[in-house]
Amino acid sequence: MAMSRKTFLRVLGGGVIVAAGAAIAATRLDAMPVEAVEGWRGPASGESDPRRRALAWALLAPNPHNLQSWSVDLAEPDAIRLFVDGARLLPQTDPLSRQILIGHGCFLEILSMAAAAEGWRTETTLFPAGEWRLDRPVALVRFVRSIGLTPEPLFDAVPRRRTVKRAFDDRPLDPVHKEALRSGFEPGPARLSIVDEPAHVDRLRAIAIAGSELEMNLPRTHKESIDVVRIGAGAIAAHRDGISLTGPMIWALRQAGLMTAENALTPGTVAWNGGRDYALAGYSSARAFGWLSTADNARSTQIAVGRAFVRLQLAATRLGVALQPHSQTLQEFPEMAGLQAAMKRETGTAATGTAPGETLQMFFRLGYARDPGPSPRRPIESFVRA
């Protein structure tokens, strides 16, 4: 993400304005490394294995903190065994790996779309070795040649899909777009709600902001995010995952010694305040919120939520609607319980909201914003088990 010039000048005061001005003039300074986003072009032209071609698209799926915690075994012909990479989890903020499994659902949905686009039907068996744990696969996906498959219309939006983290434009959600998202949402375990009534949005915003601040003010939960922040083009190119901080403003802050991981962990520093301002700018610009709720919280339901969510985001992409998840108040660590309950009560006020005993699986803002560009992706070989 790139910090705005206004925020940068405010937090620095008179500190390194000359350096900032020079950085602004060099529009490509500390830009997103080309190699970090080359995956968004899709499979390599010489790739003939339909599984690897489909994987090249599936790896573009949304996922928590851009951890890309997918791992695949291609040992069996015409099949993919999908696992969770145990080194890429969020034990502090996602201790039950609910969000991680939702990300795997996103992956499976795009995998299926990509395979169908090239004439392969996917037959997916969830948890083929029994109840999920790290040493067992999330899914076994078999590729079956099928002539005459109808391509999925949403698939063309995959390379244009973005999770917009910056502030949205000051425009309300178009009622036509709101209705299109609602009516196009397919029935299943997950139910979709969208609200744009200002007073309701304000109440949801207040709870969401409180959740973000709580997470930032708990050292162990905040550190979990900072540990995967990649500051500057060099770090982004080296890791090709996580939360990216790049661009002229970040370069200037780094040159001034103000943007470091250590500073980002320390309340009151420029780096910490800048991160807070950036998060709150997103909340304050929201003119509509949406959420997905389910009757149960089974592992298979979490996968289904991911499949439904990515379809919703692709539909939003085709409409020109930006969408960003806000996960903080849905996280299952003890200190968040009060705000999680408050969010569940507030989402329960909508006609199709979260009922007692149900699970609030996803919460997100909807609006309009310019394209921020793609997020980094690791090369396909880094996902394949030996």
Domain boundary among 128, 159, 190: 159
Check whether residue 84 and residue 152 sit in a common domain.
yes
Q: Are residues 129 and 240 in the same domain?
A: no
pLDDT tens sequence across 215-267: 999 999 999 999 999 999 999 999 999 999 998 988 999 999 999 999 999 99
> What single-letter DSSP state applies at residue 22?
H
SS3 call for 72: strand
Residue 385 in any domain: the answer is no
Q: Pick from 144, 159, 174: which residue ends a domain? A: 159
Q: Do 102 and 184 belong together in one domain?
A: no
| Same structural domain, 152 and 74 | yes
Residues 237/378, Cβ–Cβ less than 8 Å: no
- Beta strands 359-367 and 190-195, pairing class: unpaired
91 and 167 part of one domain: no
Provide the number of structural domains found in the chain: 2
* Statement to judge: residues 188 and 146 lie in one domain: no
Q: What is the CATH number of the domain that holds 265?
A: 3.40.109.10
Strands of the sheet containing 322-325, edge to edge, are: 190-195, 288-294, 359-367, 322-325
Are residues 39 and 20 both part of a single domain? no
Give yes or no for residue 366 having a pLDDT over 80. yes
Q: Report if residue 375 sits inside a domain.
A: no
Q: Is residue 386 part of a domain?
A: no
Q: Is the confidence at residue 14, as pLDDT, over 70?
A: no
* Domain end call among 113, 135, 159: 159
Looking at the structure, do residues 92 and 151 belong to the same domain, yes or no?
Answer: yes
What's the pLDDT tens digit per position in 296-344? 999 999 999 999 999 999 999 999 999 999 999 999 999 999 999 999 9
Task: Determine the distance from the C-alpha atom of residue 70 to the mean position of all C-alpha atoms in its chain, rounded to a whole number.
Answer: 14
Same domain, 165 and 155: no
pTM (two decimals): 0.92
Is 84 part of any domain?
A: yes
What own/partner pairs with CB < 8 Å and gap ≥ 24 does 8-16 have? 8/249, 8/252, 8/253, 8/274, 11/270, 11/273, 11/274, 11/277, 12/253, 12/256, 12/258, 12/270, 15/256, 15/258, 16/252, 16/255, 16/256
pLDDT for residue 24: 44
Cα–Cα distance for residue pair 385/115, rounded to 1 Å: 20
Q: Long-range contacts made by residues 86-90, C-beta under 8 angstroms, separation at least 24?
A: 86/134, 88/241, 90/64, 90/65, 90/224
Task: Indicate if the alpha-carbon torsion angle 162, 283, 307, 35 is positive or negative.
Answer: positive
Let me know whether 322 and 230 are in one domain.
yes
Question: pLDDT, tens digit, for every residue of 159-176?
Answer: 999 999 999 999 999 999
- Give the residue numbers spanning the domain of 121: 35-159
Both 167 and 152 in a single domain? no
